[in-house]
Structure 1
Amino acid sequence: MSDAFDDLLAANEKYAATFSHSGLSGQAGRGLAVVTCMDSRVDPLGLLGLQAGDAKILRNAGARVTDDVLRTLVLAVYLLGVHRVLVMPHTDCRMSKSTDADVHEVIAAEHGVDTRSLDFKTVPDQAEALRHDMVRIKASPYLPDTLAVGGAVYDVRTGRLQPVEL
């Protein structure tokens, strides 16, 4: 591994010296899956009062329920003890400030890379995208009708959740 990761390997040595999670199973201890954004300001365990082993955390740009998120939720529900899902985008998200066309244009202009074959799933209306994604989970033929699905927007300025109803 290159020198670019030396800081991470050193931090891991410290972490491993006091590691205490070896007894955890792969099950979601609190029966929860959280679909959230990859934004580094979002600490899903901390902001929800969870600990390691409590929940399955699924992250991507914009906290979107993609085909891969649905695939992962099917596994989490049937194999890993999940019986409730929280979809949790956040305020000040880069994906809510642009259209896909804008993102393609910026990347092409600034980096010379043509990304037009990718769908970035930008979200001009965050509440509407959140409702759409919640419905997508509820409507999936692969997930049980009993699966509890909720949505909330995490405010990166206050640390508070703003629930969004279907």
Structure 2
Amino acid sequence: MSTVPQSILQANEKYAASFAKPSIPRKNFLVVTCLDPRIQPYEQMGLQFGECGVLRNAGGTAPNALPNIIVAQNFGLRDIAIVHHTDCGLTHITHQLIRDAVQEANGAEAAKTVDQFEFHEFKDVPGSVKRDVEYLARHPAIRKGTQITGWVYDVETGKVEDVVVS
């Protein structure tokens, strides 16, 4: 049996003992970023916990985040920061590699289900940021007047680079 549930409960006891209810986001913007644990948008962007919304997915891709972005905009998170990063896992994979890994782990029927997904893999990180900013800027469901910025976080230096502003 996994010790993960027990370790989660123990860690939560410590957290809850000094819990301070976070505020509703005050910056009125949303960060869309990768699920890579090296990405810590609050610390890396000089924000306090709770000051903005954060959406994560593999690669931080806008198309995969779109339904959640639409919901977030209706809760007041108007502007969007797309943050991709160097050494991203999506620069090292392809749809076929993912499909093959699923087939090896779970069989051919499971591998077929992978074909319903688009992983939006990329090689050029700044290019992927520009692609995502453009995608959101022209998407009809994104609120008019939304400022969309694009950034690349360097996992080696800790610095962010401003790539594009819509």
- Distance of 2:4 and 2:15 partners within structure 1: 19
Q: 2:66 aligns with which of 53, 64, 70?
A: 70
How many angstroms apart in 2 are the aligned matches of 1:46 and 1:120? Answer: 27
The letter for the 1-side match of 2:55 is: L
- Are the equivalent residues in 2 in contact too, given 1:99–1:124 (CA < 8 A)? no
* 1:76-98 per-position Cα deviation (integer Å, ceiling 9, x unaligned): 2222x223210001111110122
Pairs within 5 Å for 1:1-166: 3-21=3-21, 24-25=23-24, 28-66=25-63, 69-79=65-75, 81-109=76-104, 112=107, 114=111, 115-165=114-164
Q: TM-score, normalised by structure 2?
A: 0.86
CA RMSD of aligned residues (A): 2.2
User: Helix, strand or coil: the match of 1:164?
Assistant: strand
Which amino acid in the other structure matches residue 20 of structure 1?
A: A
Segments of 5+ residues of structure 1 without an aligned counterpart are none
Asked if the contact 2:133/2:164 (under 8 Å) is kept, the reply is: no
Question: Which structure shows the bigger proportion of residues in helix conformation?
Answer: 2
CA distance in 2: counterparts of 1:30 and 1:129, whole angstroms: 25
Flag as ranges the 4+ runs of structure 1 deviating above 6 A.
Answer: none
Partners of 2:29 and 2:116 in 1: how far apart?
34
